[in-house]
Amino acid sequence: MTRYVVAEVAEFPDKGIRRIEVAGRELCLIRLGDEFFALMDVCPHGGAKLSAGRLSGTVESEGPGDYRPCRTSEMLKCPWHGWEYDVRTGQSWSDPKSTRTRAYSAEAIAGGELAKGPYVADTVPVEVDGNYVVVNLPVSAAR
């Protein structure tokens, strides 16, 4: 792995999203509290810059009228079509095959039982080293 200093921790706001370039690759860097996450700065669905998106969360429910926000700010929403990606894994929870308007049977299930979408945004390891945010790229990707 090749390590790159990409920001100072003190200069990066909580829930901040920043586009950075590392070794010729565009990345989307996100801060949530004391944790940092990096995704490739391209939506695998439509090609938009994920760094222009916004953070959102998910909702849990035990039934009608019971809605609890959870995983606040852990989902990055694409600015073009609203596809959402988990900042921790890059996993999409949207499915392009469901964009048509059709009637289907529906049931209420826990959020953890939902089927994952087919798209996964590439993630990049990030760490804090003293006062600096450091992105780790494989040697082959750094060229």
Give the model confidence (pLDDT) of 109-137 as tens digits: 445 555 566 678 888 888 888 888 888 88
Put residue 82 in one of left, alpha, beta given phi > 0 → left and psi -120 to 50 → alpha. Answer: left
Specify if 136 maps to a domain: no
Q: Percentage of the chain with pLDDT > 90? A: 10
Residue 122's Cβ-side half-sphere holds a number of Cα atoms within 13 Å equal to: 12
Calpha distance 127→80 (Å, rounded)? 29
84 lies in some domain:
yes
Query: What's the CATH code of the domain at 119?
Result: 2.102.10.10
- Distance in angstroms (rounded) separating the CA atoms of residues 9 and 134: 10
The helix (run of H) or strand (run of E) holding residue 134 is: strand 132-137
Gyration radius (Cα) of the chain, Å: 17
- Say if residue 101's pLDDT is above 50: no
The strand pairing partners of 100, in sequence order, are: none
What's the domain range around 82? 15-95+107-125
Q: How many domains does the structure of the chain reveal?
A: 1
Domain assignment present for 89: yes
Instruction: Find the angle CA(41)-CA(136)-CA(15) to the nearest 5 degrees.
Output: 50
pTM across the whole model: 0.68
So what's the pLDDT on residue 14? Answer: 93
Average pLDDT, the chain: 78
